[in-house]
Amino acid sequence: MARIFGNLLIGFFVVLVLALVSSTFLITPDLLRHDVIAKYRSETSFLYELPSGAQAHIRDEGNQQGPPLLLIHGSNASLHTWEPWVRELGADYRLISFDLPGHGLTGATPEDEYTVEAMSRFTGEIADLFGLDKVFLAGNSMGGAVALQFALDNPQRVAALIPVSSAGMTQDPDETSVGAFNLVGSSFGRMMMRYVTPRFVLASTLRGVVADPDTFVTEEMVERYWETLRMTGSRDATIKRFAGYPSRASLEPQLSKIKVPTLLLWGQQDPLIKVKYGIRMNAAISRSHLIIYPQAGHLAHEEIPVKTAADAHRFLQDVLGK
């Protein structure tokens, strides 16, 4: 018995040592904020300290005399996701994109709150910065939920909404997620993510949410997602945000309060927020219209930007009475 116990003890220590050695090689360290900003800040972007103390990364592009359209990215993305729409819509609209708290080059914030409600307040600070009393809002995934929350919080400030594969609905309990979203869905996964964030997991996640990954996902894109996530403070912010998801209230019971014109854009092949949720959201919002794209996944605004931007333009022109 003593020999068996001794062998088991030795085996345990061997496994422990191997795990420690493996983790040492797998550890992905934080990247300095200054270095990440230097790499991914563009000539058209700037950093501005908002009243809340957040250092917001912002782009103000397009037709400065046009109607303002605020562009809100999704979970673990950045303002870069809207670059195709900026190219397509820049002649007609003032396009203001920004990195949400805990994301992109904005990163962690002094408030250290990363709920949809906090991001709605942050969006209000962006609108205030530019002196905008009323805006159009487009948002993808989590950014769609932020746009919806902003409309609920500030109905007088919203002229129209364009949620793209939007979060915010009550999801079925048996739903499974994709790639990194599965990883951060558990407390153990979140703990590991703080120190080990493999590049291949992000690559696999990006490939898993779009319809044509071989064409869409590039090495440059994967690198940007991976490095901005590892900017000092951003992984802690992401962990805190995902830890709060189980207790987050669904927006579905409140959607009937939204009375502004709403255009819902959804990819038929979206595996993350399936099109059935778009159909339900369309039924919940009285003045909404749903367009489903058979050839797109979760990022329809990036995957098929010419088509989605054209549909958005027609919708906004109708709202403007043109």
* Token pair recorded at residue 198: 């493999």
Distance, CA of 144 to CA of 165 (rounded, Å): 7
Residues 308, 300 contacting (CB under 8 angstroms): yes
Query: Measured on CA atoms in the order 215, 217, 223, 228, is the torsion positive or negative?
Result: positive
309: Cβ contacts below 8 Å, ≥ 6 apart = 84, 85, 88, 89, 301
Q: Are 110 and 260 in contact (CB under 8 A)?
A: no
- Per-residue confidence in pLDDT tens, the chain, 322 aa: 333 333 333 343 333 333 443 444 468 899 999 999 999 999 999 999 999 999 999 999 999 999 999 999 999 999 999 999 999 999 999 999 999 999 999 999 999 999 999 999 999 999 999 999 999 999 999 999 999 999 999 999 999 999 999 999 998 876 655 545 555 556 666 666 677 788 988 899 999 999 999 999 999 999 999 999 999 999 999 989 988 775 567 999 999 999 999 999 999 999 999 999 999 999 999 999 999 999 999 999 999 999 999 999 999 999 999 8
Taking a C-beta distance cutoff of 8 angstroms, is the pair 153, 146 a contact? no
The two beta strands, 135-140 and 288-293, are unpaired
Would you state the structure tokens that stand for residue 309, as one six-digit string? 């931007």
Please give the span between the terminal C-alpha atoms of the chain, in angstroms, as a whole number. Answer: 86
What separation in angstroms does the CA of 48 have from each of 6, 56, 126, 212, 265? 61, 5, 10, 36, 31
Q: What is the model's pTM?
A: 0.89
Residue (of 96, 83, 85) closest to 40 by Cα position: 83
Three-state DSSP state, 281:
helix
Rounded distance between C-alpha atoms, residue 83 and residue 86, angstroms: 5
